[in-house]
Structure 1
C-alpha cells in the first residue's frame, strides 16, 4: 500500500496517458497479480509496453505474450524469451520502491536500453522470478 502511495505521481501520469487513449481504442483492465491497471490496445509507440507507476500502457491485447529480453535483442546474450507481464511487473515493483525517483534514475541509467540496470533487472525477474531491484548483484554463469 505504501509503495502505491509513494509512486502515485507516476501512476497519475500513466492514468492520464491511458484515459486519453480510450477514445482511440485503449481498454483498461485491472491485473491484480501485476499490481497494475493495464491499458491494452494503446495506440501509440513502436509496440510492446511501458509502465508508469501502477499503470501499464500496452499496444497489444494480451500482456501474457512472450518477448525477447533486451540483452538478447541487442545481441549481448542468448536468453530464453520472457513473458511481457513478468517484465512489466518488475518495473511496477521498481516504481513502488523508488516512487518519484524512478523516472529520473531510469533516464540517467540510459533509458530504453540493454545497458540500463532497470531493464536488465526486469529481464532477470522475468527469467527467474527474482532480482527486480536494479542494483541487485547479477550472477554470471
Structure 2
C-alpha cells in the first residue's frame, strides 16, 4: 500500500473514532490533576496517559487514547485466557494488547463501545479481548472476526 494511502487510512480511522478518543482525553485529563503524565506513543498510535492515580491497575483504551496506572506500557501481563485458567500462555506486553484495541476502535469508530459491551465487557469471553491477546502474542490478528467461537 502506498504511504499516502496508508496515511489517509490512519487519518480516516482517527477521525472515525474521535468521539471515543474524546472520552479518553477527558478521563486522562482528570488524572493529570493528580499527577498522571501524557505523551504520544507512535508505536501505539495513541496519546498515552500513564500513572493514572485511580483504579485497580492495568490499562483501558478509548479510541486513540490509552489510560493506564503504570509508568510504562512495556510491562508484561497475563492474557485473559491465561488469567481465566483456560490455557497456559506467556505474558504479553501491555502496549501490544492496547494497540490492538486502538486498531479495533479505528475500524469500528463509535460502534466499538456498544459492540464491546455486547461482547461481554472486560472478560476472557469477549472476542475483542481475545483478539487483542492474540495480537499481543503473535503480532497478527487484531480483528475479532478471525476468532473461532
Scaled to the shorter chain, the TM-score interval is over 0.9
Contact conserved, 2:46 with 2:66, CA < 8 A, in 1?
Answer: yes
Q: CA deviation at 1:60?
A: 0.4
Structure 1: how far apart are the matches of 2:35 and 2:79?
A: 27
1:91 positional shift = 0.2
The answer to which of 91-100 and 17-26 deviates more is 17-26
TM-score normalised by length of structure 2: 0.91
Does residue 1:65 correspond to 2:75, yes or no? yes
Instruction: Give the gaps of 5 or more residues in structure 1.
Output: none
Query: 1:5-58, CA deviations, whole angstroms, 9 ceiling, x for partnerless residues?
Result: 000000001001111110111100110111000000011211000000000001
| Runs of 4 or more consecutive aligned structure 1 residues displaced over 6 Å after TM superposition | none
What do you get for the CA RMSD once the two structures are aligned?
0.7
Gaps of 5+ in 2: 1-10
Q: Which one of the candidate residues 142, 146, 149 is aligned to 1:132?
A: 142
Distance in 1 of aligned mates of 2:106 and 2:115? 14
CA deviations over 1:79-105 (Å, ceiling 9, x no partner): 011000000000000000000000000
